[in-house]
């Protein structure tokens, strides 16, 4: 009976050894795994305003710094207070960057700003209704449907034709029709 167990263990051991050899010498099955390239940083959209040559909304590469946003906006204007800016501050998507000019209240000095906090001027809460006869381009942009281009058109129309006599007159500005006026009517005034 001992020989029978020895033969059985030998046969099982031989089969396992043969199977292991066959497995090691067989060609690999399936497809090779291809790794995807590392993700690229998403673009940032920032609003640059104040004492820059071309204020506006700009799309920048991920990882951009305040210096890149100012360069995209045409650089600093002659009256910019550049010493109050941290040009190395990293940007985040959706920020509004405000560059103070001469005579404007500057933001906190650079020493008060941490390395990971960009120099940004908070947007003041709008006070409605907005007087379309006295509002600046920036103030007009808080209105729904009014971007920088339409705000500039409103100011240009007002300068060329005089003050608006009624809120309905804003529809005389190119690009502002009845649907835009319907959104604005409760938010604007011509009161003096």
> What pLDDT shows up at residue 83?
79
Structure tokens at 19: 């199977």
pLDDT tens, position by position, 111-142: 333 444 555 555 455 577 889 988 888 888 88
Q: What is the DSSP letter of 101?
A: B
Structure tokens at 83: 């010493």
Among the listed residues 121, 100, 109, 97, the one whose alpha carbon sits nearest the alpha carbon of residue 46: 97
* Whether the Cβ atoms of residue 42 and residue 94 lie closer than 8 Å to each other: no
Among the listed residues 63, 105, 106, the one whose alpha carbon sits nearest the alpha carbon of residue 83: 106
pLDDT tens, position by position, 50-82: 888 988 888 888 888 999 999 999 998 888 887
For the entire predicted model, the pTM comes to: 0.39
pLDDT tens, position by position, 140-169: 888 888 888 899 999 999 999 999 999 999
Helix or strand run (H / E) with residue 4: helix 2-25
pLDDT tens, position by position, 29-55: 777 777 777 766 678 888 988 888 988
Within 10 Å of residue 81's Cβ, how many Cβ atoms? 18
* Whether the Cβ atoms of residue 148 and residue 141 lie closer than 8 Å to each other: yes
Would you report the helix, strand and coil content of the chain in percent, each value rounded to 5?
A: 35, 15, 50
Q: Which residue has 């990293």 as its token pair? A: 90
**Domain architecture of the chain: domains with CATH:** 44-112 (3.10.20), 130-189 (1.10.150.280)
């Amino acid at each position: 009976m001992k020989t029978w167990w020895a033969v059985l263990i030998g046969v099982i051991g031989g089969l396992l050894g043969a199977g292991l050899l066959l497995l090691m010498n067989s060609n690999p099955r399936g497809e090779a795994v291809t790794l995807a390239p590392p993700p690229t940083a998403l673009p940032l959209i920032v609003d640059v305003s104040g004492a820059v040559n071309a204020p506006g909304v700009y799309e920048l590469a991920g990882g951009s710094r305040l210096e890149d946003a100012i360069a995209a906006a045409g650089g600093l204007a002659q009256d910019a207070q550049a010493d109050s800016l941290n040009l190395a501050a990293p940007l985040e998507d959706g920020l509004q960057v405000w560059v103070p000019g001469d005579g404007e209240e500057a933001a906190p000095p650079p020493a008060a700003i941490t390395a990971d906090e960009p120099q940004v001027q908070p947007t003041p809460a709008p006070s409605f209704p907005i007087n379309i006869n006295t509002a600046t381009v920036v103030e007009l942009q808080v209105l729904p449907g009014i971007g920088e281009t339409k705000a500039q058109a409103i100011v240009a129309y007002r300068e060329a034709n005089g003050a608006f006599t009624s809120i309905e007159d804003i529809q005389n500005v190119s690009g502002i029709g009845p649907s835009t006026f319907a959104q604005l009517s409760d938010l604007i005034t011509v009161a003096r």
